[in-house]
Structure 1
């Protein structure tokens, strides 16, 4: 089995808010990957004493452990348990009801000898490659489908859309949000590789239009996860003011790619 993990901060002067892990249980019968993209809060309070990297490390660590140690528990339940565990660790010091309490997007994939299960929450991506080379992108596109006018200000987003019906959902403090994720399962024999990308890496497709999702996975398989991130950085630097690709809130974003092939 081949696995690769690359995670690069958008700004080396700031901590990387992404989390990524690959776990291969000692039984040798399968594995799992977890990718989180911490949501950078706007200037102002979040109701929490802790940073986004603290949160993603706690949630990602718990989710990795639960996904591997409880192989018969559905991924939605594993995410719910991980959110509960993380919330309990700081509920006594922080206001977890604040709309900007630390939160993250989530991608989880778990494979056994028979199946490949997956979960996607918010705007990170999971790519699944079949035996015939067909690539399927598993996306939670609720945020992308919202009209630009609804996203005019952070205050408007927080009061009407963030973790609300009709808006979009992230993993924050409410365990029930796990039930909002995009989930599914496939026979292991029908999948030969997969890749999880935070939106900072998915810019290659979604913002810069360098190719489609099949081209993206092909690039990672042939040249490595680091090559995808490096190309995104080149494209960002060439368009530092975002004139060609509107909608980028940051010139450079944290970019994470995890790839697994068998």
Structure 2
């Protein structure tokens, strides 16, 4: 088995709000991976004493532990329990009902000798390569669909429109403090003997395909296999620098935290 990962903040002056980890048991063919992309808060009050790096470290650690040790729980149940556990770690001064309480997108995968399970929430991505070479992206497309709709609005109104749809019915969802959000996740499974590789990506890394159009999903996985996750992040950084003001490739920020995890079976 080959496991490689890279995670880089968008700016060296700011903390990385992504989280990535892989767990393998001492024996057997099982394992789990987690990639979280923390949602950068606005400069105004978020109602919480904790920052996004604090949140993703605790949620990610809980997800890795639960998905590995509680094989009797589905991945959705693991996420629900991890969200609850992280919410309990907040102090009494934290307003967990605040719409910008610390939160994150989620990619979670788990495998054993029989099955590869997956869960995706919001706009991070999981690529599943089967033994015939087919690469299938597992995506939660709600936010992208809303962004497309928001393009019909005046530019000054787009951000506020999307913000009003965060974690609301008819909108898009991230893991924050409500364990019920797990019902909104994209879940599924694939027979283990049909899977050749997995790639988990924060949206800072998926820019290679989704923003800069440097290749398709199969090309992205081929780059990971041939040159490694660090090379993918470097290619994204080069593309960002070449279009610093977002003229050719519009995006919310010039550079974003970028994380990629490759698991080859």
* TM-score (norm: length of structure 1): 0.97
Give per-residue Cα distances to partners, 1:186-233, cap 9 Å, x unaligned.
Answer: 100111101000000000000000000000001001111111000000
Q: Corresponding residue for 1:23? A: 23
Q: Does 1:33 align with 2:21?
A: no
8 Å contact kept, 2:150–2:158 = no
CA–CA separation in structure 2 for the residues paired with 1:110 and 1:94: 32
CA–CA separation in structure 2 for the residues paired with 1:54 and 1:231: 28
Q: Corresponding residue for 1:144? A: 144
Q: Corresponding residue for 2:224? A: 220
2:259 aligned to which of 245, 256, 261: 256
Give per-residue Cα distances to partners, 1:34-59, cap 9 Å, x unaligned.
Answer: 00000001120100000000000010
Q: Corresponding residue for 1:123? A: 123
8 Å contact kept, 2:237–2:255 = yes
Consecutive unaligned residues in structure 1, runs of 5 or more: none
1:209 aligned to which of 209, 213, 223: 213
The Cα RMSD (Å) is 1.2
Q: Does 1:238 align with 2:242?
A: yes
Give the superposition deviation at 1:179: 1.1
Give the superposition deviation at 1:155: 4.0
8 Å contact kept, 1:31–1:112 = yes
Q: How many aligned positions are there?
A: 260
Q: Corresponding residue for 1:157? A: 162
8 Å contact kept, 1:199–1:255 = yes
8 Å contact kept, 1:100–1:158 = no
